[in-house]
Amino acid sequence: MSKKQDLIFGINPVLETLKASSQDLLEILVSEGSSRPALHLVRQEARRRGVRLLSVGSKTLDHLVRGQRHQGVIARVQAYRYLSFADLIERIGGPSTPERILILDGLTDPRNFGALLRTADGAGVRNIVIPKDRSVDVTPVAMKASAGAARHVNIVKVTNLRRAIAGLKGHGYWVIGLDAKSKDTIYETSFPQRLAILVGNEGTGARPINLRECDLTVSIPMLGKVSSLNVSVAGAVCLYELLRQARKSMTDVSVS
């Protein structure tokens, strides 16, 4: 497969790609002879959008994804297009525009990455910043874990994460780091509307050099014997607390 192509597999990821960016699809391979209703939807949507559709044996699909669970459908797509930091700055609006950005400091597990992309999309976060090096990319596994959400958000690759954090602060953002050692919890902190939240990797969390660039750090209270949550769960808890506060703020304004 060309380096300019990726594979997407699984019913939801392929359907979401058809809806969000069908122009990136080169062809869709569907298990021949399958009568699953969900695969019928894939075929129907592909025909409607004029995407090439092929029926192949299940062994061919198994071989392409090297044993991953493909649910009877694989799509060949143009390689994922990341945004640059300059692209992000053009999209985020003026200093008074409410905007949330998720910064991921060196995640390595594509399933955690995909889960966070899915959560970000669900919580209304449209821009995700990742480092260029020592970080997972939008792989087929990450795409499947995101249930196609990777096609609905903007993923920005930067060479220097610390410099990117400083750049966001220069454009009116508060930057808050999720740190298990912080005495301030997400439930005791009132978050500003123009905010970037830094989440670290699976093993050691965010790097100290990046945490030092944050305006403040927060933690998630842990009442049991285990001292921390899985990174995708921690990110989800934090993003939905941000959403809860934002919705409450809007309700309070409308009531007054």
Do 94 and 113 reside in the same domain of the chain? yes
47's enclosing H/E stretch is: helix 37-48
Do 179 and 203 reside in the same domain of the chain? yes
Do 113 and 197 reside in the same domain of the chain? yes
| Number of structural domains in the chain | 2
- Give per-residue pLDDT as tens, 113-168: 999 999 999 999 999 999 999 899 998 889 889 988 888 899 999 999 999 999 99
Do 62 and 102 reside in the same domain of the chain? no
Do 135 and 235 reside in the same domain of the chain? yes
Do 30 and 96 reside in the same domain of the chain? no
Do 215 and 138 reside in the same domain of the chain? yes
CA distance 6 to 198: 28
Q: What global pTM score does this model have?
A: 0.85
CA distance 15 to 157: 25
Do 111 and 63 reside in the same domain of the chain? no
Do 199 and 214 reside in the same domain of the chain? yes
Q: By C-alpha distance, which of 167, 166, 179 is closest to 208?
A: 179
Give the domain CATH number at 52: 3.30.1330.30
Last residue of a domain, which of 51, 78, 105? 78
Question: Which residue bears the tokens 């390595």?
Answer: 108
Do 242 and 134 reside in the same domain of the chain? yes
Share of the chain above pLDDT 90, in %: 61
Name the pLDDT band for 3 (thresholds 50, 70, 90): low
CA distance 183 to 173: 22
CA distance 130 to 83: 10
Give the domain CATH number at 174: 3.40.1280.10
Take residue 178 and report the two structure tokens written for it: 């999720």
- Give per-residue pLDDT as tens, 219-256: 999 998 888 889 999 999 999 999 999 888 766 655 44
Question: Which residue bears the tokens 């220069």?
Answer: 170
Q: What is the CA radius of gyration of the chain?
A: 20
Which class for 59: exposed (0-12), middle (13-18), buried (19 or more C-beta within 10 A)?
A: exposed
C-alpha distances (whole Å) from 195 to each of 113, 200, 201, 214 are: 20, 16, 20, 11
Buried b (16+ CB within 10 A) or exposed e, 159-191: eebbebbebbeebebbbbbbbbebeeebeebeb
Last residue of a domain, which of 20, 50, 78? 78
- Give per-residue pLDDT as tens, 101-116: 999 998 999 999 999 9
CA distance 210 to 124: 24
Give CA angle at 62 (56, 67), nearest 5°.
Answer: 165
* Domain span including residue 178: 85-255
